[in-house]
Amino acid sequence: MKTVKGKFYVLRLVFALALLMVIFSLSISAIAEDKWASGVKIRFFVGGDPGDAFASIVYKGALAAAQDTGATVEYVFSGWNVNKMIDQLSEAIAVKPDGIAMMGHPGDDAVMPLAKKASEAGIAMMYQNVDVPLVRAKYGGGYVGAILEPQGQALGEEAVRLLGLLPGDKAMVWGAWGQPGRYIREESTALSLEKAGLIVKRIPAPPEAAADPSLMIDSLTAAFLSELETKLIVYSGGQQLGAAEMYMEAIGKKAGEVYNIGFDTSPAVIDAFDKGYVQLTSDQQPFLQGYLPILSLCLTKIYGFGPMFNDTGAGFVDTNNYKNVAEWAIKGYR
């Protein structure tokens, strides 16, 4: 009789423990489904078009942040067209979301009046990729991206050190000259190279080349033919840097005969490293430029935290270490 009772109590204990485990499991599931920032509405500017080498990584970061926080996010694609960004920002403010994460490419002057409207409407602002310090100083907001001037300077200094460039060597630097606030990084690279004694030619990069790098073939070929002794080409974005093989074929150069450097990583940039066409890039971690602005806006809306300011410049990727980031670049995270 005691044995039967003992077995009965053991069975009851096992059943009770199993029931507690089920309840605990259901509770955890309920907590996971109840995202802490659900109900927060955000407009997020991705910058380029869907599938763009850089914008796709930003987009992936933004999607991850929306998933983790539970925020409702509408994504804005602009094809890197600054005038389109301004029109889209005006539209975003008109619908009065809780927060807007805006690409800073149009610059302080263009963004300032709209930032004023956003502030008056109580809309929290974050900026990514290109800073608008005058706007933030007057109307608030945070920034997630590389700090452009020191990033550009550091790239020039690293190129001289790593590639053994000498005074008198010729370089061409592509950048958004003519677009206020857009060429800070590339100008810093150019000045850094000139400080080392290089002869630098500054060439405006067409904005459309960020979406379609092939649009730069003719202008790059013409620029190179006018300076056949060019040893270094600096590109203003990962889209163009990833197309280095295409550009070198257009000017009749083999891998390594002309140094190609620039900014960002991507599957195409990793492939160009593999083939010897790219020697150096400055990584600004675009995934974080998608993730952190949304996280910051949610923290501001829910808990009243101040906006984030985060330098995503991660340092350099070169021929010695590119394989360390290759897997994640190919998967679209770097």
The predicted model gives 145-174 an average pLDDT of 97
pLDDT at residue 159 is higher than 70 = yes
Give dist(CA 30, CA 3) in Å, integer. Answer: 41
Confidence of residue 209 (pLDDT cuts 50, 70, 90): confident
∠ at Cα 332 (330, 334), nearest 5°?
90
DSSP class of residue 101?
Answer: E
Contact 269, 280 (CB under 8 A): no
Question: What pLDDT score does 179 carry?
Answer: 76
Residue 230's pLDDT band, with cuts at 50, 70 and 90, is very high
Q: What is the pTM of this model?
A: 0.83
Pairwise CA distance, residues 315 & 219, whole Å? 30
Burial class (CB in 10 A: 0-12, 13-18, 19+), 29: exposed
Q: Which CATH fold would you assign to the domain 41-146+287-312?
A: Rossmann fold (3.40.50)
Q: Which CATH architecture does the domain made up of 148-283 adopt?
A: 3-Layer(aba) Sandwich (3.40)
Question: 41-146+287-312 with 148-283: one CATH topology?
Answer: yes
Domain boundaries of the chain, sorted by first residue: 1-34, 41-146+287-312, 148-283
Give the DSSP H/E element, type plus range, for residue 114: helix 108-120
